[in-house]
Amino acid sequence: KKGVLLTGSKYFAGVAVGMAFGYFFDPMSGLFGLSTLALIAGMTNSNSGMYAALTGKFGNRSDVGGLSILAINDGPFFTLVALGVLGTAFPMISFIAVLLPIGIGMLLGNLDPKIREFLKPGESITIPFFAFALGAGMDLANFFNPTVLAGGLILAILTFVCSAGMGILMFKLFKEKSFIAPISEASTAGNAAATPAAIAAAAAVAVGAGAMTQAELEAIQNIVPIATAQISISTITTSLLCPIGVILMDKYQRKRGIDGTREDLGLNNAESTSGTQERHAVND
């Protein structure tokens, strides 16, 4: 449930902001060089490695489990759908590649508790690899371009505020008490920097199929470099904002008696102890 809520809220928040931006500004080079492509690509993808690390430390088991569904938003598929460049080339294999391991894991974990315990440490094994790939793909020279930097920072703030805000709203609607997970996923994925190039490649295919004009293809190709740089800046910035936001939310929740690492949320220690004593008294 949490994975579906987070994936859906993040996607629709990104699409809504991107479409609104394209309505009020030039969709190709609007405010501070931002484009609809950069906004949707940056806002609809999340850093799975950081989500796993933050929910593993500050969240509970169901928060971490939401990662299995969140993995669907990795890559350019949702961005392609939102921009309408996908056409008939539906990449079914990408869905199979994500959903098949999930299905196998759910089957094995429910059939045998020992297998579930054996595979449990694997959640944290991939975190160093995500972090290394994130740093290796960054170009620090982008920070010296004022336009790119300003656009990237705006993209990061929109991603963090809108993704976290929409996620928290959905969690409230579905009576969830801890909001660690929505803040943990309010980031831009490192691999989202490759999405503009993937969009341009898909657009080239669309031109060959007659679904797009050559002028539209050239317009997309022209914004690929700056969109890539702005998404990279957003990736770095949100990788700082999300941990800070999670720590602040964790402190706020604990003051209200909510321990985000527990599944029985909303009970502080005193209430939990009192409830246990009452049950013992009834049993006696």
Tell me the helix, strand and coil percentages in the chain, rounded to 5: 75, 0, 25
Q: Which residue has the tokens 């290394």?
A: 132
Q: Which residue has the tokens 């990061």?
A: 156
Q: Is the dihedral of CA 259, 260, 261, 265 positive or negative?
A: positive
Contacts 24+ apart (CB under 8 A), 170-173: 170/5, 170/6, 170/8, 170/9, 171/2, 171/5
Q: Could you tell me the pLDDT band of residue 251, with boundaries at 50, 70 and 90?
A: very high
Q: Could you tell me the pLDDT band of residue 274, with boundaries at 50, 70 and 90?
A: very low
The per-residue pLDDT for 63 is 85
Q: Could you tell me the pLDDT band of residue 175, with boundaries at 50, 70 and 90?
A: confident
CA distance 154 to 48: 22
Residue 166 contacts residue 241 (beta carbons within 8 Å): no
98 pLDDT higher than 60: no
The per-residue pLDDT for 127 is 55
Q: Could you tell me the pLDDT band of residue 139, with boundaries at 50, 70 and 90?
A: low
Find, among 153, 140, 5, 151, the residue nearest to 67 by Cα.
5
218 pLDDT higher than 80: yes
